[in-house]
Amino acid sequence: MRKNIVAGNWKMNMTYQDGLALVSEITNMVADETLGANVEVVIAPPAPFLHSIGKLLAEGGKIHLGAQNCHQKESGAFTGEVSAKQLQSVGVEYVILGHSERRQYFHEDDELLSQKLKAVLAAGLKPIFCIGESLETREADETFDFLATQLKNGLFHLSNEEFAQVVIAYEPIWAIGTGKTATSQQAQEVHAFIREQIAGAYDAEAALNTTILYGGSANAQNARELFGQPDVDGGLIGGASLKSRDFTEIIKSF
Ligand code: 13P
């Protein structure tokens, strides 16, 4: 049975002090809540805050720690980089990979992402692997071909055992930070397509067991409708994860 997940991707936002305050508000708000059946919450703060925020989350016991990126090598002379093993050593469980911002601004391609995926899996961490089309691709009616290629090149080189650790996030680029959410029908259509592709590359069981998140202007108002779709198993939340009340409302939207 696949998990439902709400993951907050803070991106390059928040000072350490603001981040601590936000996390304690969120942990207080969810402390008394019975989270929906099978719901897991993840917070992915900027790298320098991982250790202390991880400790705060561990005390509360309900929220898991995620990182926004990692380097593909295990260690060595890579100034400024952080390895999956280092992330694991401070309590990280999930690593976001292939976010469109990393693909666009840091030129991460399928080859590099496949190395990062291997590194994350080798460290015993779970990747949240992002895919998503641009507005241009959608308007050219090429969304499904584009996503099929991203999945094939980016993910489907993994073994069955490796793939079982992967969470997929569908993040249409045109919906990220724009306030323009995919409709629940658009999200459902793509999520069902992703599941079909998984069934083709692996098998029906792998397709059923994979958590597929939606990301892109998801918020407290639209989360219930989105999460109500049969193939939408939660969200990867940007802007709305920076406000405790909004994020908590989203967590309660299953
Ligand atoms: P927004 O929720 O701010 O649109 O960002 C989505 C996202 O990119 C999460 O990774």
Which residue, by CA, sits nearest to atom 7 of ligand 1? 238
Mean of all residue pLDDT scores within the chain: 96
- Predicted confidence at residue 172, as pLDDT, reads 98
Average confidence (pLDDT) over 57-69: 93
Q: Which of 11, 14, 96, 174 to mutate to test the pocket of ligand 1 (most atoms within 8 A of CB)?
A: 11
Cα dist from 23 to 53, 160, 247, whole Å: 7, 35, 11
Determine the residue type at 52: S
Confidence band for 61, pLDDT divided at 50, 70 and 90: confident
Query: Is the beta carbon of 177 within 6 A of some atom in ligand 1?
Result: yes
Is 99 annotated in the active site?
A: yes
Q: Which of 99, 101, 133, 191 is catalytic?
A: 99
Which atom of ligand 1 lies at the shortest distance from residue 169's CA?
10
Residue 60 has pLDDT above 90, yes or no: no
Residue 132 has pLDDT above 80, yes or no: yes
What percent of the chain has a predicted confidence (pLDDT) above 70? Answer: 100
* Binding site, annotated residues for substrate: 9-11, 177, 217, 238-239
Which residue, by CA, sits nearest to atom 9 of ligand 1? 238
Cα radius of gyration rounded to whole Å, the chain: 17
Give the number of domains in the chain.
Answer: 1
Helix, strand, or coil (residue 33): coil
Q: Is the separation of the CB atoms in 78 and 71 below 8 Å?
A: yes
Which residue, by CA, sits nearest to atom 5 of ligand 1? 238
- Predicted confidence at residue 196, as pLDDT, reads 98
- Domain that includes residue 75, residue range: 4-251
Confidence band for 1, pLDDT divided at 50, 70 and 90: confident
Average confidence (pLDDT) over 30-45: 86
Tally of CB atoms within 10 A around 164: 14
Please give the Cα distance from 117 to 72 (Å, whole number). Answer: 8
- Predicted confidence at residue 34, as pLDDT, reads 75
Average confidence (pLDDT) over 126-142: 97
CATH number of the structural domain spanning residue 186: 3.20.20.70
Average confidence (pLDDT) over 131-146: 97
- Predicted confidence at residue 62, as pLDDT, reads 87
Q: Which of 6, 96, 237 to mutate to test the pocket of ligand 1 (most atoms within 8 A of CB)?
A: 237
Confidence band for 53, pLDDT divided at 50, 70 and 90: very high
Query: Is the beta carbon of 237 within 6 A of some atom in ligand 1?
Result: yes
Confidence band for 91, pLDDT divided at 50, 70 and 90: very high
Residue 25 has pLDDT above 80, yes or no: yes
Query: Is the beta carbon of 218 within 6 A of some atom in ligand 1?
Result: yes
Average confidence (pLDDT) over 215-225: 97
Determine the residue type at 212: I
Please give the Cα distance from 125 to 146 (Å, whole number). Answer: 27
